[in-house]
Structures are given as structure tokens and as C-alpha cells.
Structure 1
Amino acid sequence: MKFTLSWLREHLETDASVEQIADKLTSLGLEVESVDDPAEKLAPFVVAEVLTAERHPQADKLQVLQVNAGNGPLQVVCGAPNARAGMKGVFGPPGAYVPGSSFSLKVAAIRGVESNGMMCSERELELGEGHDGIIELPADAPVGERFADYAGLADPLFDIAVTPNRPDCFGVRGIARDLAAAGIGTLRPLPSTGIAAGFDNPVPIAIEDGSGCAAFAGRLVRGVRNGPSPDWLQKRLRAVGLRPISALVDVTNFFSIDRARPLHVYDAALLKGGITVRHGREGERFDALNDRSYEVVPDDCVIADDSGLLGLGGVVGGSSSGVTEGTTDVLLECAWFDPVAIARTGQRHQVHTDARARFERGVDPHELDASIDAATAMIQQLCGGEASSVTLATTPGWSEVIEPRQVTLRPERVAALSGMYVAPGEQAAILERLGFKAAGGQSWIVPGWRPDIDGEADLVEEVARVVGLDRLPSDPLPREPGVAHAVALPAQRLERRLRRLAAARGAHEAVTWSFISEADADAFGGGARVLANPISEEMKVMRPSLLPGLARAAARNLARGVGSIRLFELGRRYLVDAERPTLALLLTGDAAPRDWQSGKARAFSPYDVKAEVLALLAEGGAPTANLQLGAGAGASFHPGRSATLRLGKAELARFGELHPTLAKAFDLPPATQVAELFLDAIPAARNKGRARVAFAPPTLQPVTRDFAFVVPEALAAGDLVRAVRGADKALIADVRLFDRYQPAEGDLSLALEVTLQPNEKTLTEADLTALSNRIVAAAAKVGARLRT
């Protein structure tokens, strides 16, 4: 749910800062996912005047402009056809980041002519889709003023995660009500919008019992002039991600966001007979407003007239009755649909709309009259017209829907259930500010916009969250005699060690959803567990890998300008046979700052992620010196820049560069490095004691010897290293590959440095010769021979 600060203040009288509002929303259970201020990303852009415009000497479609942005003339090369002398537009100076094009401006020569910045279009500043020319401002626009200030764009945008039990917070009004209840301002009263009916509604409306609709209110407004909505409405809808269409449609979208009340409009001239809400019939189809065609089934709730289907009730309307610029008579719909019926219809046809999201969670059944009056008033304000009376069709079950519900709250239960003391008077005041009405005694009438309130515990929760769960005292539970203290399991201790080490090595821990989209799961091998009733299509599959979540998190951070990203997550993969504990790692962006010589930053390489994997495995107790390195880590990895680490048949980790196709699909740079460590495959430590092994430094000097072997091209260097190390496990302390040489035509040579650590006596020349022979013999077993 997105809304702007100015929109919130239409309902909430408050002087609270953006930070205070965001903190309070989160404490109320409305988690703030982001707060975006468009003025910040547009801060460098200013109002500028084009002084002169001349043809580019080397390109017919380019012009060379002299632009005044407040500090004297600047030369700018521009390709917009509407650029001309005397006009005013938006100028981006060198160094400014263009959000719509994802690049930073710099002084550059374009076809041989120097350009110092650019004049911008709507799309380049993410203000719209217009890209045919640069933004043209009024003649009185002040040159040199920040464009964001001039255009009134300093309006922070909140994006909150609304839990399924809070349908009222799918509207700005409900969010404002919660904030007012928590002391962040005062809730403004809604304006009175009584509508004088000039004639009776001529469109008959009927509802088939059991269709999934309990009430349908309709009103005809005739003589309207449908066109573009005013700037204030278009700006408000664009801010929350909605595309303005026309005044009539924009009014319905406004009320969907403003009051969580979906509405619909029909071109009355296109209706054949009256409106009927009924079950679908076999073989019926209709073309929807989302440019798709749907075939309905008998379990669907549909809207129809005498000619056929007009849409799926509460989900999506049909194009056959959609309003256009030529619409003069419009039928306004304000209905109440059964949440379960809407949810099943939407899932059956895989339709996701704002209307469905609100109806399937439950809209207020008591405000049909107020909503249709308010929407009619706005239509008349923007489009003119004369309104009819309201026709309200209901089913026998409507009386049960609108029957007031009462819940009892005993004041002492707040302390008993929540653990915090709240005075009875304060409890009552909180509930009244949330819209509950006292019904006498200890009973409260539940408002229609809170279908989630069912019992006393729900009212306790309302009081506790408004007071603030941060006021809950932290008291340890008493330990009963004989109850042992909690002891961490070996697997838990392993996860703690790995988490600390990953953070100490510079990675940030991420916690992503265990549910991902089917497309993301397929990109990493496919999900084995699919939810039958997912919250959304984006959370349909139990993740087969932790990497999709990290990839999405990394992409979001990169889009916000983070240059270097090191993320890890410790969680579970959900496979056919079991849940597997896993540590995933992702490195992308710049591995190091820009080099002073080249001016370029180094990207991460597979060796960077390999070092992290080996460090983590060593911390987990894996014998890293004995691991076998295998080329290729699967279809999700780059085939030539990835590998696996095994101990016998057990695969401990896979790492390397993410496959280029997946990197592109997830909006990540090509050199993105990823890894997965399979914690249940790491062998348990053999040492059962807690004491550390005593430090015993060697008393004798180590000796190093170099060997160069001619090997087959197919031989892995790791196999040769392991063979040499096994020649004498007591004396050989380390084996290091330090050179690879292969002429254009000739044998492949690998050079190893072998470190010998004597423990009992100094090695003689005879000892060294004998050991060298054993090393050569061990290498010969894997197909290597000493280079001569």
C-alpha cells in the first residue's frame, strides 16, 4: 500500500515528521517497507531557459543549445524536436544521476560538439511516459530554482506492508485513523456529500441469491463530460503507481486508495437492459479491461446485462461497457461482495487487481450510501452531470452482513493477556479513537471496516498495539525446580559460529521470504513444494535455494545506488525429501575501491567467493585441506567459472559466478558471485572436549622444495596437490600451486611449492632425496611426470 504524505494529511491533521510517522506505523503493525522522497533524487535538476538553438554541424536530428540554468550560458547538445529558443525546461548538470535512464551525466563530446549536461524529458525523470520531447515549463517558471521545489514534488511516498487482517489499511483513511489513535495527530472528519437526486435511476438492478454479491448500489449520472482528470488527481495517482486514464476512471481509483472502497463505472449507453449479478454460465466469455479474455464457470460471480457478461464481480470489469471520452451517461456501481467468493474467483482466473485485493479481505458494508454519494460528488465536480436516485439491490443475507457485531472487553484482561497495565479509561479512549462504539457495560460495537475483530483477545491486541508493545516489561519466566537450562544443539552452535564469521568478514545478513515465485524457483532448479493457497503469485513456491531471495535483495540495493554488496543468509531449503539447513552468500558490485592508476574498481571474482566459502567451511570444522574441487556447480552457475567442494561423495558447497542469463533476469551485474554451503553435509567435529589444543610451535626450521610436473590437460590441479600431499602426511605441511605454464604447442606444466616440517630431527640430504622420490612417485599415480 503506497500513499504520499500530502494525501495522508488530507485525513490526518499532524505536524509529525516523516521519521516519526514511519516509526509509529511500524509499531502499530503496519510495517514501513520504504519511504521515498522524489525531491531527493531530483535535487540536482533545475529550471532552465533555452537562449539559442542551432542545428548540430554533424547531425541533422541534433541541436546545439545555449542554456541558462541560473549561472550563465552552458552549451548542451539536445535531440528533442521541441527544443527551441525562448522555452523553459528542466536541466540536469554534469554529475546528476538521471533516474529514468540509470546513468550519471558528465561533460562529453557528442558528434564532435561538447555537451555540458542535458535537457530532460518526463520519462528520464520518472514523471511520466512522455519521451517525444523535453519537458516544457510555463514562461513564468523561475530560472535556476530547483525543479522539485517548483513542481511541488517534495512529497515523501510511504510504502507499507499491510497484513491480510487489516483491509481498512488498504485505504489512506484507515492508516490515518490508526495514527490518530496512537497520538500522531487528529483524524479529520469526512466532508458531507449529500446528493440531490434529479430523477429516478432508470437502470434496473437485480442480484441472484448465492451469487457472491449481497448488495449492489447503482446511480446514473447523465450529461457528464469525460476527459483527462485535473493535475492534482493525476499527480496523486501517479505517485502511488497508478496510471491516470480519464476523469471517471480516476475517480474510482482515487476512492480505492483513499478509502479502501473499490467502485466501478459503466457507460450507460452501452448497457442492454438492466444489471444482473448472477452465477456464470458454461461457455460464457468476455473481454476484460486488462486486455485479456476470460471464460467463466458456474461458480464465478459475474455482472451481466441482457446482451451478456460485463465483468467478474469485484475482480475485473469488461471492455464492452467501459467508459470513453465520448461517454455522456455513466452508471456508478458501489457493491459488497463475499470475500471468499472473490478470492476463489480471482485465484481461479489468476487475476490480480486492486479491487480484488480489497474485496477478498473485506470492505466496510455499512458505508455504501456514503461512498456512492462521495464518488458522485467528485464526478459532478470534475465532469458535471445530473445524478439520479440510488437503486440498492440486496439478498436475504444482507441483513446478517450489516448486523452490528458486539464484543466484550473486561479491562483486567488487557494486563492478563498482554502483560502491560493500561488504565480502563485509556482503554476506552483508544477503542473510541479506532472507531469502536461503547454499547453499554463492557460491550463494544465493532466498526464495519474491522472484519478481523472476533473476540475479547482481539480488542486486547488493539489496545496493546496502540499503546506500543515497546512498553511491554521484559520479565523472565520463573524457572521451575528441576527444569534444566536451555542448551544449544551442535547444529545451532554451528549456525551461530558461521553467522558471526560471515559478519566479521564484511557480509551483511539478509532475511528473505521462504516463499518465492514459481519463475524464481524454476531459475534455480524448480520448487518441489507448491502452496495450494498462496498469499500471492510471488509467494507460491517453497524456495529450493536461498539464492533467489538474495538476488532480489541485491538488485533492490543496487537500484538504490549501493556500490558494493556482500550479503549472506542462513536458512532452510525445501526439497522433496526434507528441509536442508544452508548458508547462501552473494557478492556483487565493486570488490574494492577504484584503483588510483586505472580509475576503475575491481569486480568480484570466483576466487573472492571461494575464499569466503573456504573460511566458512574451516570455521564449521570441515577438513578444507582434504576437500575435492569439482568443475561446474550446476545450471544456475556460469559453466566455466564455478565449482563444487566435496568430501568423498558428500557435497559441502557450490560456488562461482552466477549464470549470465540469471544475472540479467535478476537485474544483477554479470560478475555476480554466489555460493551455497550445505550445513548438514559438514562432518561433525571429532573432539568432544571443550579444552583448546595446546599451542606447540615447531622447534625445527621448515624446508621448501619446488617441483614442476608435466601433466595431462584434463588433470585438475587439486588432484595433483592432494596426491603430493599424501606422499608423506607426517612431513609435508603444505603444498601450494604457484605456476601454470603451457607454450603454444607443448605440454602443460604445473609447479608446486612443497613445505616440509621436520618434528624430530633435521632432514639430511638423503632424507630429502627419498622424500622427493616419494613425491614424484605419488604424482605419477595421477598421470604427472617430473619436468626435465
Structure 2
Amino acid sequence: MKFQLSWLREYLDTDASVDEIATTLNAIGIEVEGIENPAAALSSFRVARVIEAVQHPNADRLRSLRVDIGDGREYSVVCGAPNARTGLVGVAALPGDYIPGTEVTLKVGEIRGVKSEAMMLSKREMGLGDDHSGIVELPEDAPVGARYVDYAGLDEPILEIKVTPNRGDALAIRGVARDLAAAGLGTLKPWAPPPIASVYETPLQWRIEDPRACTWVLGRAIRKVKNGPSPQWLQDRLTAIGLRPISALVDVTNWFTFALGRPLHVFDVAKVKGSTLSMRMARPGEELQALNGKTYALTEEDGIIADAAGAEALGGIIGGEPSGCDETTTEVFIECALFDPVRIALSGRRHNVFTDARARFERGVDQALLPAALDAATAMIIELCGGEPSTVSEAGSEPLWRREATLRFERLSGLGGLMLPPHEVEGRLERLGFAVTARGHDRLTVAVPSWRNDVAAHIVLDQDPTLAPERARVAAEGCAAVEAECDLVEEVLRLGGLDAVPSVSLPVSSPVPLPSLGAKQVRAVLARRVLASRGLQDAVTYGFLETRVAAMFGETPASLHLENPIASDLDQMRPTPLASLALAAAQNAARGFADVALSEVGGGYRDTTPAGQLAMACGLRAGQTPANWAMPARPVDALDAKGDVLAVLEALGVPMAALQVTTDAPGHYHPGRSGMLRQGPKVVLAQFGQLHPRLCAALDLPAGSVGFELFLDAIPEPKRRKKAAPELSALQPLRRDFAFLVDADVPADKLLRAVAASERTLITDVVLFDRYAGERLPEGKVSLALQVTLQPREKTLTDQEIEAIGAKIVAAAAKATGATLRA
């Protein structure tokens, strides 16, 4: 919000400079965003008199002027203004002056053969309004040669403040003055407009059809008004803060919006259909032709002001064009109402309408100001436009705004870290308008003023004798008292300057800081890092895709179908991030980049329950592996995907020896080139393999693409136990190779487990290093070659002990899988 320093001083008796005012406002929590002075751009312009104005010899629409600016010489000026004439007193700019309205720097020139050494200015060229109809005309006694800003009183700072959403009272210049006076920077001037005596009965009546649209409204008509341009002082006030003067009637409403934070609206009585204005909700199909030239399709959630013909205003936001005032208006009706802040905010956002009235109503206006504001507006309109006032039309009733709040003095120290004497606390609150109702040795109870809607407090019950006991109990209890006390602490402390509040560190809960990430978050971060280290590019994709594609990777329950998708082909929550990676890989392949390695840590969805929303780490490789100095490029295979999964599981602390591999991967994998990693028979940690050829063909993926899905939530939490010192034997380990003949359908994992369990005290590792099937082997048999590592712990093993261990290994393999030692 902007305001002139002189406008502020109409309500604040102070000699403080603009810098002192700005410093104080910042200190008490009203941020000053900028200070500007129009005189800076206009300081070089001078009051000038036209000595002679004659027709330009070579142009019908131009005149040649001789101009005196008081420096002892005459200037030749070529001008096209229709009001240029001999004897006119206006404002002139000289070469080198910057013209703010046109954003050019003036130079000496020649126009149609006549030299032009200066420029006579219009208001728009000076940036003081939109009037470009002619040269600015000043009184004949204006001092020629004087600076125009000095003569016009424009050498005055304009402050721009930033108001927080809870401080609707600070969107009034009088409200800002009240805060400055409370902070000790002057005295707030009294304001109490005298009541207006009516001359005739009002021609319009208010009716509230729906309290959602309005709770209290007043109105008064004024007849025999003469609407026209507002006086210069009012135009200057509005122009200085960026508003365009329209007419006296409209300018008065804008003046009250900024001066008192009390938006008003004026209707042309002759244009209102019927004798009643209704506050109601809009009906289906209704439209409003607004004063900004736009037409709005209203909804049933919009509160409007309507006459017999329909909507005439969007209540509290913007008026309608059909009943707007213009130069033909002779009888005006002033509307002064209270609207629901939430409904105002929602309607304004719905229709994308931003007005000064909306900014104040949605923050909350003074709930008791209506009668005084109506009287003051009536008096100003009669002063500027003449006329006779009518009786007041009223509907609804004054809301229950009277509230009380209690402040315990020790809370100033407990919450704000600053202890003040009780009399200082009381004085600060009273200067803000809080009236003391009760005093105690340790606390103070105050009545909250009507303009402080941001202070939460409980209602004073005696203002409505019909208030039901249960409603009274609910209104008086709960958290309102606690919130109000916090609000009072803030008010008291900020008036002394926020910089005076000592900085206090938060209490330290532990000498060692707690981890910033939980176990699941750490798991996701680590998985992403490991996959990136293995050459997979981290991808971020949508959590939804086309139903047809989602069905290729799992079930698509109706509960996960989007009712309002952002695109028609993004209508289903995905069962796995692997589906999104497959689409991304297909798009890369279509653009000539078939060799990709993508990964994503994201969500997969089974149903709408929390258990059905899975945290997954997925990856996809397509095309060929990158070549390097150690090995050439080759097509990716299922073992690449298995290696990615195992690397992540190992990094997450999963005991690798406990993992089991099964071949029951879901249908989007190749049935013979895929697997599942389990920890026990029930817990599935991951699934991997080559993607099914039919899926690759349907999505245009390169044939042979592989992928994996790791279920992060299925990984058990690591047990919190102290790590024991490693048992490092001083003896040399030894390794023995065994080649077993087994049936071709026997899983190698089963043989490995049997061998490892045959002698747990000495066998530390079992590795499969060869699988052979073909010539010299019985039909249906394969050869599996294992390397077994033995680690002696107490003494070197003898040949007999090694042979005994070998016999145990062969016996365990035969018992578990029917394997025989290959000759």
C-alpha cells in the first residue's frame, strides 16, 4: 500500500522525518518496501508563460510559441496542443530534461522548418495522470520560473508498505498512524464524524436474502448531486498512490478505502431496477458486467448485490457497470457493508479479480465502523457534489465483535524473552486501542478493539443475552484464550521494536544432533546413489500413466483410476516405476538413443491403502553396455539387472548369504530369463530379468531390454547391536574345487546352500564358477563346479582332516540334491 507523508499527517500529529517514520514502521513489523518522491523526476520542470502563440507556417495542426520560463530569454516551441494560446501559463521542459510520461530525453529540434527549443507538458507527459488533451493550465498568477514541484506541492515523499495477511487494519492510513502513535512517534488525531440529519426517505431498501452473502449493510441516498471531476487535492492524493481519478463520487469511495480501510460502493439510483437491493448468492447462469469492462459468469458460491434485473455487484470485490455512476448521475446510493472474508477471498480467486476492496475485506475490516463511515462519506459527497441526504436503510445487525483477552505478565518473558513493567505493558496496549477491563498483580484483561480481527479472543457474553449456554461455553473456552495471549505478547513486544527482543537459542535436546533423515529416507537416498554409481541415470517421472500401459505391468484397479487426469493418457496410477522407465526408454529409442540405463526411486501403487503404496527402486537397461578398455560393448542381459539389485541390497546391509533366488517373476518378465530375490520363503525383496518380448514389441522397446524392481519397504530394519571385533585367523585359508553332476532342473542355489551348511565352522565361502552341459555327460545332467574356501582357526588342517571335510561336502550335496561327484 502507498500513501503520501502529508496524508499520514492528517491522522498523526508528528514532526518526525520520513526516514524516522520508515525506521519505526520496520521496527514494529510493518515493512517499508520503498520510499519515492515524484519531485525527483519533475524537479527540472519550470512554470512558463506563453508570450505569443501563432499558427505554424507549414502545418495546420501545429502552433509556434514564444515561451518565457523566467530566465531572461525567450524559447521557441512547436506545439500541437489544442489549448496552446497567448497568455497561457503552464509547465515547460528544456533540452536535457527527462520526460517520464514518454520516457525520452528532450533535445533541440526542428519541426517543419521551425526550431523547437523546449516543450510545454501535459499531465500524462509528466506522469501525473492520463490527461493528454492539452497543456497543463495553471492560474495566471503562478510564479513564472519557479519549480513546478514547489508550486504544486509535489515535493513530498510517498511510502510503500508491505502488509501481512493478518493485519487488515494496517491497510488503512489511519491504522498505520495508530501504530506509529502507539510506538511513540507522535499522537493519533481524534476522528469522530458528526451524524447526518436526513431530509427525505431513502428510495432504496436493503434486504439480506442469504447471510452467507452479507451479515450487515447500511445505505443512504443523496439527491441533487452534481457529479464531475473531483477537486485537485483529491486527484493529487489518488494519483500519487497510483490510482486514476474517475469522478468525484467514485474518488470519494477510493479515498475512504485507503484513508480508513473502509471500502464503499455507490449506485446510481436512477439505474437501479426496483426499490430493493438484495444481498444474496448468485443463481445458475447469472453474469455480471463489471466496472473493469469484463463479464463474469457467477457461481452459486458467489455473494452478490442484486436488484430486480439481476446482479449489480460482486459483493465486496467489484461493482457492476449497469448501475455505475457517471456525469449524468443526480441521485446516488452509498453502500457500506460487511462481508465474509473467506468467501471474498474464494470468489476473488475464482474469478481472478484483484481490487483494493477485496484486499481489505479478505483480511477483515473494522466491524463497528459502518455508521461513522457512512456519515463521513455522506458529508464528503455533499461537500464536493452538493445534495441532500436521505434516511439510512439497514439490514442485518452488528456482529458480535466485542471480545476480551487476558495477558499474564510472565508470558512476556516466557514467550518473548523480555520482561516489562506492568504499567508499560498496559500503556502500550491502550495506545493501540485495547481498553483495560480488569487488572491483577500478575495479569491484565483487555477489550479487543473492533478493528483488530487478527487477535483471537473469547466473546464477551453479555453483548447478546439470547446466547445459548452451550454456545457460550464453546465460544468462551478452547484455544482462543491461549492464542489471544500470544497475540497480546506480540503486540506489546513489537511496539518496543522487534530488534529489542533478545535472541534466544532453542533448547538442545541432545548433545549429538538427531539424524535429519529417517531410516526409510536414508534407504531411498542410498539406493539412488548406488544405482547412479553403476551408470544408471536417475529419472523423475509421473506417478500415473495410461491404463493400457499400466495393465502390462500389473493390475489396474478402478480405485486407482484418476477422475480428473492432467491428460487423457495419464489416467491410472502406475503399478511400478518400471513402467514409466520403459516409456522413457522407448522415447529415447525412437529418437535414435537405443542404449540407455535409467533408474528411479519412486512409488508403485497396488490399492488406496497405505500398505498398497510401495516405495520402490527400479531400473531399466536397453541396448548394449558401454564399451571400455577392459571389455567391448555387448547386449545387456538379465544378469546385469541382477547385479544392480544385489549391489543395492548389499549397500543397504541385507545379509547376502540369506538371499534365495526363485524363478516365479511376474508376467512382464521373460519366463526363462528372470527371477525373484527373497529373504525366506515369504519376503520378496526384488524381482529382475529380461522384459517379456511381447511387452518390448508393444512399447517399441529394444528387444532384450532388462529391468528390476526392488521393494524398499520390504527390507528389514538393521538390528541395532554393537559390532563385535572381527575374528581374524592367523592361518592361511585354503580352497578346494568340486564338480558335481546334478539333474538339469536342480537350482544351483540349492546345491550351494547344502555345501555351505556341511561344515559351518570351517567353510567361509562357496562360489559357483562353472556350469557345463553337453558332450560326455549323461542326458538330463549338468556339471556344476564349486570353489569352497576353508579357514582353519586353531591349527593347520592335515590331509586326513581335509579329506574328511571333502567327504562331508559330497555327502551333504548328495542328500540335498542327489548330486554325485564328477569323475
Tell me if the contact between 1:366 and 1:402 (Cα under 8 Å) persists in the aligned partners.
no
Tell me if the contact between 2:67 and 2:77 (Cα under 8 Å) persists in the aligned partners.
no
- Equivalent in the alignment of 2:144: 143
Counterpart residue type for residue 101 of structure 2: G
Aligned-pair CA distance for 1:290:
1.2
- Equivalent in the alignment of 1:43: 43
Q: Distance in 2 between matches of 1:202 and 1:388?
A: 8
Counterpart residue type for residue 471 of structure 1: A
1:470–1:279: structure 2 CA closer, same or farther, 3 Å change rule? same
- Equivalent in the alignment of 1:425: 423
Match of 2:70, SS state, is coil
1:279–1:108: structure 2 CA closer, same or farther, 3 Å change rule? same
Match of 2:101, SS state, is coil
- Equivalent in the alignment of 1:347: 349
Tell me if the contact between 1:212 and 1:342 (Cα under 8 Å) persists in the aligned partners.
no
- Verify: 1:466 aligned to 2:495, yes or no: yes
Aligned-pair CA distance for 1:462:
0.8
1:91–1:410: structure 2 CA closer, same or farther, 3 Å change rule? same
- Equivalent in the alignment of 2:27: 27
Match of 2:414, SS state, is helix
- Equivalent in the alignment of 1:526: none
1:246–1:60: structure 2 CA closer, same or farther, 3 Å change rule? closer
- Equivalent in the alignment of 1:404: 402
CA deviation map 1:202-235 (0-9, x unaligned):
4222112343311111112222222222111111
Q: Distance in 2 between matches of 1:485 and 1:298?
A: 51
Tell me if the contact between 2:256 and 2:262 (Cα under 8 Å) persists in the aligned partners.
yes
Q: Distance in 1 between matches of 2:241 and 2:406?
A: 38
1:471–1:80: structure 2 CA closer, same or farther, 3 Å change rule? same
Q: Distance in 2 between matches of 1:110 and 1:95?
A: 18
- Equivalent in the alignment of 1:363: 365
CA deviation map 1:664-701 (0-9, x unaligned):
xxxxxxxxxxxxxxxxxxxxxxxxxxxxxxxxxxxxxx
CA deviation map 1:489-519 (0-9, x unaligned):
xxxxxxxxxxxxxxxxxxxxxxxxxxxxxxx
1:47–1:414: structure 2 CA closer, same or farther, 3 Å change rule? same
Alignment length, in residue pairs?
486
Match of 1:296 among 275, 298, 301: 298
Q: Normalization by structure 1: what TM-score?
A: 0.59
Aligned-pair CA distance for 1:30:
1.5
1:577–1:159: structure 2 CA closer, same or farther, 3 Å change rule? farther
117-126 vs 168-177, which moves further = 117-126
Aligned-pair CA distance for 1:116:
2.7
Aligned-pair CA distance for 1:294:
1.7
Q: Distance in 1 between matches of 2:52 and 2:386?
A: 44
Q: Distance in 1 between matches of 2:141 and 2:154?
A: 18
Tell me if the contact between 1:211 and 1:278 (Cα under 8 Å) persists in the aligned partners.
yes
Q: Distance in 2 between matches of 1:91 and 1:416?
A: 63
Q: Distance in 2 between matches of 1:182 and 1:77?
A: 53
Tell me if the contact between 2:46 and 2:92 (Cα under 8 Å) persists in the aligned partners.
yes
Match of 1:163, SS state, is coil
CA deviation map 1:36-62 (0-9, x unaligned):
111221111111122233455554544
Match of 1:65, SS state, is strand
> CA RMSD for the aligned pairs?
2.4
- Equivalent in the alignment of 2:376: 374
- Equivalent in the alignment of 1:501: none
Match of 2:324 among 322, 325, 336: 322
Tell me if the contact between 2:36 and 2:157 (Cα under 8 Å) persists in the aligned partners.
yes
- Equivalent in the alignment of 2:390: 388
Q: Distance in 2 between matches of 1:122 and 1:164?
A: 35
Aligned-pair CA distance for 1:14:
0.7
Q: Distance in 1 between matches of 2:187 and 2:167?
A: 21
Q: Structure 1 unaligned runs (5+)?
A: 488-575, 579-788
Match of 1:365, SS state, is coil
Aligned-pair CA distance for 1:376:
1.0
Q: Structure 2 unaligned runs (5+)?
A: 457-483, 517-599, 603-823
- Equivalent in the alignment of 1:693: none
Match of 1:380, SS state, is helix
323-332 vs 47-56, which moves further = 47-56
What does residue range 513-592 of structure 1 map to in structure 2 within 5 Å?
none
Tell me if the contact between 2:123 and 2:132 (Cα under 8 Å) persists in the aligned partners.
yes
Identity %: 52
Q: Distance in 2 between matches of 1:5 and 1:159?
A: 11
Tell me if the contact between 2:192 and 2:372 (Cα under 8 Å) persists in the aligned partners.
no
Q: Distance in 2 between matches of 1:229 and 1:379?
A: 10
Q: Distance in 2 between matches of 1:61 and 1:403?
A: 64
Q: Distance in 1 between matches of 2:190 and 2:335?
A: 24
Aligned-pair CA distance for 1:201:
2.8
CA deviation map 1:134-169 (0-9, x unaligned):
222221111111111111111211111111111011
Tell me if the contact between 2:288 and 2:314 (Cα under 8 Å) persists in the aligned partners.
no
Q: Distance in 2 between matches of 1:41 and 1:232?
A: 20
Aligned-pair CA distance for 1:109:
4.1
Q: Distance in 2 between matches of 1:128 and 1:253?
A: 16
Match of 2:219, SS state, is strand
- Equivalent in the alignment of 1:158: 159
Tell me if the contact between 1:216 and 1:334 (Cα under 8 Å) persists in the aligned partners.
yes
Aligned-pair CA distance for 1:289:
1.2
CA deviation map 1:416-444 (0-9, x unaligned):
21112222111111111111111213211
Q: Distance in 1 between matches of 2:243 and 2:510?
A: 61
72-81 vs 383-392, which moves further = 72-81
Match of 1:457 among 451, 474, 486: 486
Q: Distance in 1 between matches of 2:601 and 2:423?
A: 55
CA deviation map 1:387-413 (0-9, x unaligned):
22222211xxx56x3341111111221
- Equivalent in the alignment of 1:68: 68
Match of 1:409, SS state, is strand
- Verify: 1:218 aligned to 2:247, yes or no: no
Counterpart residue type for residue 457 of structure 1: C
- Equivalent in the alignment of 2:437: 439
Counterpart residue type for residue 247 of structure 2: S
Aligned-pair CA distance for 1:7:
0.7
1:112–1:221: structure 2 CA closer, same or farther, 3 Å change rule? closer
1:486–1:80: structure 2 CA closer, same or farther, 3 Å change rule? farther
Match of 2:193, SS state, is coil
What does residue range 255-266 of structure 1 map to in structure 2 within 5 Å?
255-266=256-267
- Verify: 1:189 aligned to 2:187, yes or no: no
Tell me if the contact between 1:303 and 1:311 (Cα under 8 Å) persists in the aligned partners.
yes
1:402–1:484: structure 2 CA closer, same or farther, 3 Å change rule? closer
Q: Distance in 1 between matches of 2:76 and 2:425?
A: 64
Match of 1:440, SS state, is strand
1:221–1:84: structure 2 CA closer, same or farther, 3 Å change rule? closer
Structure 1 or 2, whichever has the larger Rg, is 2
318-327 vs 100-109, which moves further = 100-109
Tell me if the contact between 2:78 and 2:111 (Cα under 8 Å) persists in the aligned partners.
no
CA deviation map 1:607-635 (0-9, x unaligned):
xxxxxxxxxxxxxxxxxxxxxxxxxxxxx
Counterpart residue type for residue 22 of structure 1: A
1:58–1:577: structure 2 CA closer, same or farther, 3 Å change rule? farther
- Verify: 1:205 aligned to 2:206, yes or no: yes
Aligned-pair CA distance for 1:464:
1.1
Q: Distance in 1 between matches of 2:313 and 2:151?
A: 43
Match of 1:402, SS state, is coil
- Equivalent in the alignment of 1:122: 123
CA deviation map 1:435-487 (0-9, x unaligned):
11112132111112111111111111111111001112356668788447999
- Equivalent in the alignment of 2:176: 175
- Equivalent in the alignment of 2:134: 133
Counterpart residue type for residue 417 of structure 2: G
Match of 1:77, SS state, is strand
